[in-house]
Structure 1
Amino acid sequence: MESILNLGNQCKSDNAFTKKARLLQSMYRVKIGEEEGVGPTKTSKRKYGNMISGGEISGKNFLMKETFEYAKKRVKNRKDNETIDEFRLFNNLLSSMPMAFNLFHPLMLLLEENPEKVTLTIRSIFKNIPVFVVTKIGLEFIPTPIEKYAKDKSAMDAYIQFQDNNGEKHIIAIETKYTDILGLNEAHNCEEQKQMLIDTGLFCAEFEGLLIANKIKLTQIYRNLLLTERYREVENLKDSYSVVLSPKEHPSTEKEIRSVTEYLKPEYAYKLSAVTLEDFVDTMIQCLPEYYAQVYERFRERYLEFE
């Protein structure tokens, strides 16, 4: 560890991008007047500049009071199989989980007030997806019972449900990343999930052979895609889309996406794509009413102004 001025302990093992992001969140902690906290877990002994203490009381990890209240409600009413980490959600400024809450909960609020404005904004971001009317936006979603879907605890960080101009239902499942790298470990006893992935019909024959021969592992990005496709099948949706949302400088997103899309049949290449966090936030600022645009200006300052 190393300490920079009064910004608290940093982490020597961080890659270049994570180092910048941790420093930015350490600066944010100082700005909001919070003391350095322990992390990354509740039982950790070391303090880091990106950690706060008592966030479950202060709500300082959230950009809106309403988002903090929503986060508390989600923790209090946590359902079976939900993997919401309370300590991380409230106290880790660097974590992508509270970032996702800060990113999508304002849209959830605005959808109740002004669904037309939300629909126009989502259309502006996902220009190649046939969004006619947004019907629902949610966070940390594990469809249950899990036995009906992907049969594991994979979750959608966020999702957008919409109808096309024929009234057909669709879903966009979103993986939000800040400094995270999608897990490279394969789930245990995942032969059934591998077969379900093959049964989606999205992949070329070469992929099927490599997957069965264990030359390709069923890593997180595949499990996320499987969850989205299984949700489409079970809920009888017209179509589904998986999107990775991360900063433009994120060191691995492009490679992670390419590791999957190279095996998708050409007609299904649209199934997995990436959107930069910068483009998403800039669109929010440009399209949303002033009150909400200001929330996303604060988001940009907190998470994305590295220089």
Structure 2
Amino acid sequence: MAPEFGKPIHQLPLIPADVLKKHRVHEPLDTRFRSAARLLQALWREDRDLPIGSYVNEDGKRRKLGSRISPAAGKAGRNFLTPEIAHTARREAVYREIGALIDKERLATNLLSSMPLTFSLLAPWGHALERASSYLVELLPAFTGGALQLLFEHSPGRGNPKFTGDYTAFDALIRYSDFHGRNGFVAFEIKYSESMREPVPELKPRHAELSDASGLFTEPAAAALRTNPLQQLWREHLLAQSMIDNGLYDEGYLVVIAPSLNYHVQDAAEAYQAQLREPEDGKVRFVNLTLEDVIETIRLSDQAHAEALHHRYCDFWLVDGELERNAPTFGQALPRTRQRRKPANAG
């Protein structure tokens, strides 16, 4: 059902190819959400007069893409909402953990990527930890802690067999302590246009061991946990629980944040939740939050940050407006390709 103007959009449109081509974002393999999100990013770029970027396609040819900005614009930090966030992203990339995988070009120039979203969403939290604590109290069940530190692209030990023995990492992690002196963490997995169908990494025997011992799952050996769309959430949950089991923390949360209209992520989170036991003390809680709800929580304390996030990532009325601007007018003259038929009773 088409949305009424000014009301929430509950389903995104199928965008005509001519509209996508006009903005240099026609990618036939995009999902419905990704196509709309890519166009939204192109509109955001155009509104700011940012030069278009490019990429090398499968044929080895470089082509322009409306959802990217030029290397010069990327170097100037224009893929982030503010200069302060851009500064944080640059420093975190330079001082990243050993073994952390941060694609600097993607971070700097890919408007659609969830990497710059992670920084644009969370970097201000790291500069105002009391405010971050208030956000977490609003968003997470039974959270009573005070934020101590924000880490990006974090793992307690990449390749360390004490944990998952692989290179699984969290997009970000907030360390906290509560009023009882318990140490905890909030690990974040941030999604924007992902389909949860990305390539599956090689699974190790350690994953099965941790799954059996974790006490998190109704069926620890379930095949669904080891394949898309659930395998990444399973690996991250195992990593999170191993941090508690190895004594690094007393409690923790694994939090997925994604747009409400990204049905691939929302369906995956719901399916993953169905695999879990009821949360117990000492077990990592899984929480699925919509990006829109997080933005509205931010709005309570920082309206400018919330508005910038919403306009960049969630204002799909801009996409609707672009469709209306490019819609044909009823009754407009059409090109004649052949003679009109005569009525059947014509003499």
- TM-score bracket for the superposition, by shorter chain length: 0.7 to 0.9
- Could you report, residue by residue, the CA deviation over 1:87-117 in whole angstroms, capped at 9, with x for unpaired residues? 1100000100000000000111122xxx2x3
Contact persistence 2:164–2:206 (CA under 8 A)? no
In structure 2, relative to structure 1, the CA distance for the partners of 1:196 and 1:189 (3 Å cut) is same
Taking the TM superposition and a 5 Å limit, the aligned residue runs for 1:158-169 are: 158-169=172-183
Structure 1 residues 270 and 2, CA, compared in 2 at 3 Å: closer, same or farther? farther
Q: How many residues align?
A: 293
Distance change in 2, residues 1:236/1:143 (3 Å): closer
Q: Evaluate the alpha carbon distance shift between residue 209 and residue 21 of structure 1 in structure 2; reply closer, same or farther with a 3 A threshold.
A: closer
**Secondary structure in structure 1 of the residue aligned to 2:62:** coil
- Whether 1:46 aligns to 2:63 is yes
Which amino acid in the other structure matches residue 306 of structure 1? F
| Aligned residue in 2 for 1:71 | 89
The answer to whether 1:141 aligns with 2:157 is: no
Q: 1:119 to 1:78 in 2, by over 3 A?
A: closer
The one-character-per-residue Cα deviations of 1:140-175 (angstroms, maximum 9, x if unpaired) are 112225403221111111222222221211111111
> Cα distance, 1:260 vs. partner?
2.4
Counterpart of 1:131, as a letter, is: T
Partner of 1:123 in structure 2? 137
Task: Tell me the CA shift for residue 272 of structure 1.
Answer: 1.5
> How far apart in 1 are the matches of 2:61 and 2:112?
16
The equivalent of 1:301 in structure 2 is 311
* Residue in 1 that maps onto 2:245: 233
Which whole-Å deviations, capped at 9, do the CAs of 1:175-207 have from their partners, x for residues lacking one? 111111234644324122121122112122xx2
Show the counterpart of 1:265: 277
CA distance in 2, matches of 1:122, 1:189: 32
Matches of residues 109-258 of structure 1 in structure 2 within 5 Å?
109-111=127-129, 115=130, 117-126=131-140, 128-144=141-157, 146-147=159-160, 148-183=162-197, 185-204=199-218, 207-211=219-223, 216-217=225-226, 219-258=231-270
Displacement after TM superposition at 1:3 (Å): 5.9
Match of 2:290 among 249, 271, 276: 276
CA distance in 2, matches of 1:26, 1:258: 30
Unaligned residue ranges in structure 1 (runs of 5+):
none
The more displaced of 4-13 and 228-237 is 4-13
Q: Quick check: 1:183–1:221 contact (8 Å CA) kept in 2? A: no
The verdict on how the C-alpha distance between 1:224 and 1:32 changes in structure 2, with shifts beyond 3 A counting, is same
Q: Distance between the aligned counterparts of 2:170 and 2:151, measured in 1?
A: 9
Question: How far does residue 6 in structure 1 lie from its aligned partner after superposition?
Answer: 5.0
Asked if residue 285 in structure 1 is aligned to residue 302 in structure 2, the reply is: no
Between the aligned partners of 2:170 and 2:127, the Cα distance in structure 1 is 19
Q: Give the superposed CA RMSD.
A: 2.4
Separation in 2 of the partners of 1:259 and 1:19? 24
Q: What TM-score results when the alignment is normalised by the length of structure 2?
A: 0.77
